[in-house]
């Protein structure tokens, strides 16, 4: 696969758009049909050396020949555009040669011979010719393994390894050696201000051919694209001043010039009160619990709904201020625990206070009950209920008061009956029935009243004029008034049937009988005269 490391963003920040430094690393460490070479696994190490020097690095690791050719085609396109100033090609793996050329084998090579080698490997003279198209210097570093393991795997006309000499074109330098020597030589020549000849002088295990400058360094003195890219990326992060921007800077330059400051600034943004609370990911239920705790402690959240609006934020600030905490309006995990503990203690105190209040109220209740005679008489019972309508003894007081009232009424009824019985007159019995229409002696009173004033059955007259009906409707406009008339007729001893406000035939008969008794025109319809007569009869019964 193809891997690209853009650690320095050279094309944007340091060099002109058409003057990039590019490196292509061909790493053949594992072959499908051929034995694997030893001591050639350089991709990751070479990538680090080149990236630190500000190169855009393309890695082609263990690729078949078709993919290798695709990488060369991509390199050719870049070279045609003229945007490569310095080019470094590093190849490590199996090389084979013939009298006419040399090749770097793809990972899918299978016992190639002279007739098939062009389909199994890259021609090095093609690679070098492409390298010579760079606008500046080009280096080709060849890591050569021990060729003994490959000798028996090659077909006719090929031999393992590189030829003694390569046809190196102008502006291209070719270095060959083992892995350690290659990495050391690359590290030296990529030091700004160092010429290739100076780098080779300290790397005796390398062999070089082609253009080897002695005066012009491969990278100029002071060349520091990574540092400049670092500074530019840091400035961009500072301009944005967001956690994401600092994370992006650290991803590009984990050990950059401003890495420590970036981490500090990122942590400062990450640790804002809003972010700390947001990271807690409080649920709606947890937020309601916090609002209840604040309310328990006397801070008004303006509702317990799980939504932290201005009311809740103000309550949090008030709580933080009271307990000498940083006043932010946002909570940390420790503060939530502290708040919950305080609310639990306060809730226990409130419960204890309420319990003490209830006990004091109960003592006062019992003391007042005892002070009013413990329900011995009606004045004491009424005084207790006035003070404690929902008190401990309220139900008992009402029960006893009802018994006393019932007894008083029973005594009054017995006295009224004795008076009626003693007088044995119609007026006496009517007075009793007026006071106690459903009393204990009411049936007997009606029988005696019937004996003294027999109720005559008055036949119904012809239908009265319409104005009589209208007068009754005007007098008895509501069902309640009709019920009162039926009730009074019943109390006078007349059979109205069911007392329901419905004036049926029995009600009309009772009306006629009452009209006859009071000497009024008999028609069975209620008029003002009947109402007046029944009212006067009731009043006479009350005041006699």
User: What are the structural domains of the chain?
Assistant: 2-210 (3.40.50.1460), 225-270 (no CATH), 281-349 (no CATH), 373-454 (no CATH), 458-543 (1.10.101.10)
Burial grade of 395 (CB within 10 A; 0-12, 13-18, 19 or more)? exposed
Residue with tokens 């919950």: 340
Q: What gap in Å lies between CA 3 and CA 456, rounded to an integer?
A: 124
Q: Taking the alpha carbons of 92, 97, 100, 105 in that order, is the dihedral positive or negative?
A: negative
Question: What is the helix (H) or strand (E) element at residue 505, kind and residue range?
Answer: helix 505-517
- C-alpha distances out from residue 154 to 34, 95, 126, 161, 530, Å: 9, 11, 22, 11, 141
- C-alpha distances out from residue 400 to 29, 414, 468, Å: 108, 21, 51
Give me the torsion for CA of 425, 431, 437, 439, rounded to 10°.
Answer: -70
Q: What gap in Å lies between CA 461 and CA 440, rounded to an integer?
A: 37
Q: What gap in Å lies between CA 121 and CA 65, rounded to an integer?
A: 6
- Residue 27: which of 51, 6, 3 has the closest Cα? 3
Q: What gap in Å lies between CA 288 and CA 250, rounded to an integer?
A: 39
Mean pLDDT for the stretch of residues 497-504? 87
**Helix, strand, coil abundance in the chain, percent, nearest 5:** 55, 10, 35
Q: What is the pTM of this model?
A: 0.46
Burial grade of 100 (CB within 10 A; 0-12, 13-18, 19 or more)? exposed
Backbone conformation region of residue 211, classed left if phi is above 0, alpha if psi is from -120 to 50, else beta: beta
Q: Taking the alpha carbons of 173, 175, 181, 186 in that order, is the dihedral positive or negative?
A: positive
- C-alpha distances out from residue 256 to 60, 229, 271, Å: 27, 10, 23
What pLDDT is attached to residue 474? 81
Can you tell me whether residue 389 is helix, strand or coil? coil
Q: What gap in Å lies between CA 428 and CA 425, rounded to an integer?
A: 5
Each residue of 422-457: pLDDT tens digit?
Answer: 888 888 888 888 788 788 888 888 778 777 876 666
- Residue 90: which of 141, 30, 158 has the closest Cα? 141
Q: What gap in Å lies between CA 328 and CA 318, rounded to an integer?
A: 10
Each residue of 320-367: pLDDT tens digit?
Answer: 999 999 999 999 999 999 999 999 999 999 999 999 999 999 999 899
Q: In the sheet that 159-160 helps form, which strands lie side by side, from edge to edge?
A: 121-123, 101-105, 95-98, 159-160
Share of the chain above pLDDT 90, in %: 40
- Residue 189: which of 47, 83, 88, 43 has the closest Cα? 88
What pLDDT is attached to residue 1? 44
Tokens of 218: 């491969």
Instruction: Say if residue 518's pLDDT is above 80.
Output: no
Alpha helices in 82-178 (DSSP H): 124-131
What does the mean pLDDT of the chain come to? 86
- Residue 37: which of 131, 127, 146 has the closest Cα? 146
Instruction: Say if residue 44's pLDDT is above 50.
Output: yes
Instruction: Say if residue 2's pLDDT is above 50.
Output: no
């Amino acid at each position: 696969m193809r891997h690209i490391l853009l650690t320095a963003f050279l094309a944007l920040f340091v060099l002109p758009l058409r003057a990039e430094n590019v490196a292509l690393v061909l790493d053949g460490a594992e072959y499908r049909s051929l034995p694997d070479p030893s001591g050639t696994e350089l991709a990751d190490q070479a990538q680090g050396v080149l990236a630190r020097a500000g190169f855009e690095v393309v890695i082609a690791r263990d690729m078949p020949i078709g993919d290798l050719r695709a990488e060369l085609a991509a390199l050719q396109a870049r070279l045609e555009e003229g945007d490569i100033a310095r080019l470094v090609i590093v190849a490590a793996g199996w090389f084979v040669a013939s009298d006419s050329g040399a090749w770097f084998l793809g990972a899918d090579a299978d016992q190639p011979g002279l007739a098939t080698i062009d389909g199994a490997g890259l021609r090095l003279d093609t690679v070098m010719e492409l390298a010579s198209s760079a606008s500046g210097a080009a280096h080709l570093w060849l890591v050569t393994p021990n060729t003994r393991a490959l000798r028996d795997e090659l077909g006719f006309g090929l031999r393992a390894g590189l030829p003694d000499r390569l046809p190196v074109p102008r502006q291209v330098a070719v270095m060959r050696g083992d892995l350690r020597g290659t990495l050391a030589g690359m590290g030296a020549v990529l030091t700004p201000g160092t010429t290739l000849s100076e780098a080779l002088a300290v790397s005796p295990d390398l062999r070089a051919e082609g253009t080897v400058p002695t005066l012009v360094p491969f990278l100029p003195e002071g060349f520091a694209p990574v540092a400049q890219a670092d500074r530019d990326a840091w400035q961009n992060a500072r301009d944005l001043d967001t956690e994401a921007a600092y994370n992006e800077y650290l991803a590009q330059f984990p050990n950059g010039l401003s890495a420590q400051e970036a981490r500090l600034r990122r942590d400062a943004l990450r640790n804002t009160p809003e972010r700390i609370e947001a990271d807690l990911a409080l649920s709606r239920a947890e937020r309601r619990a916090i609002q209840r705790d604040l309310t328990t402690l006397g801070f008004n959240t303006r509702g317990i709904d799980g939504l932290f609006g201005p009311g809740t934020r103000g309550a949090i600030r008030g709580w933080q201020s009271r307990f000498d905490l940083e006043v932010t309006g946002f909570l940390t995990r420790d503060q939530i625990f502290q708040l919950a503990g305080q609310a639990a203690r306060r809730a226990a105190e409130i419960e204890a206070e309420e319990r003490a209040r209830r006990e004091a109220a109960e003592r006062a209740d019992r003391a007042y009950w005892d002070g009013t005679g413990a329900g011995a008489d009606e004045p004491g019972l009424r005084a207790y209920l006035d003070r404690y309508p929902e008190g401990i003894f309220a139900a008992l007081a009402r029960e006893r008061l009802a018994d006393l009232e019932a007894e008083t009424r029973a005594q009054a009824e017995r006295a009224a009956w004795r008076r009626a019985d003693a007088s044995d007159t119609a007026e006496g019995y009517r007075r009793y029935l007026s006071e106690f229409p459903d009393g204990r002696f009411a049936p007997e009173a009606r029988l005696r009243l019937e004996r003294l004033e027999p109720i005559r059955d008055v036949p119904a007259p012809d239908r009265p004029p319409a104005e009589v009906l209208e007068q009754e409707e005007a007098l008895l406009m509501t069902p309640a008034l009709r019920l009162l008339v039926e009730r009074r007729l019943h109390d006078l001893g007349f059979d109205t049937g069911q007392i329901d406000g419905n004036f049926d035939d029995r009600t009309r008969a009772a009306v006629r009988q009452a009209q006859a008794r009071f000497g009024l025109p008999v028609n069975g319809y209620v008029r003002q005269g009947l109402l007046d007569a029944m009212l006067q009869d009731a009043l006479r019964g009350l005041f006699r």
